[in-house]
Every structure is written in structure tokens, then in C-alpha cells.
Amino acid sequence: MSTLSTPQQQAGILSFYDAPEQGPQMNAKALLIAVILFALIVLVFNHFAVA
């Protein structure tokens, strides 16, 4: 009996997600805090910007 394969498997797309993570690791809480701080800085600068 032959096995079924999806087009994603044939294209190698699914193997991308199985690759070991070698990039920089970042805590989710730290990332959330960094995004919130960046948004606040942008809002403050936008508020005081002189057009």
C-alpha cells in the first residue's frame, strides 16, 4: 500500500518547521514588555511632535 503525501510535504515546507532552533532565544514576557515600551515611546514622541 502506498503512502499519501501532501503537496506541502513534497515541497519541503513541513521540514522547515521541524528544523532545530538555532536563532536567539527570547523570553515571551520580555518581548511583550519591549513591544509595549516601544509603543509607548512612539506615542509620546508623536504627542510632542511639532508639525
Question: Which amino acid, residue 23?
Answer: G
Q: 47 or 17: which carries more pLDDT confidence?
A: 47
pLDDT over threshold 80, residue 33 = yes
What's the alpha-carbon Rg for the chain, to the nearest Å? 22
Query: If phi over 0 gives left and psi between -120 and 50 gives alpha, with beta otherwise, what is residue 5?
Result: beta
3-state DSSP assignment of residue 7: helix
The pLDDT tens digits of the residues spanning 2-17 come to 565 555 555 555 555 5
Nearest CA to 9 among 29, 47, 18?
A: 18
pLDDT over threshold 90, residue 30 = yes
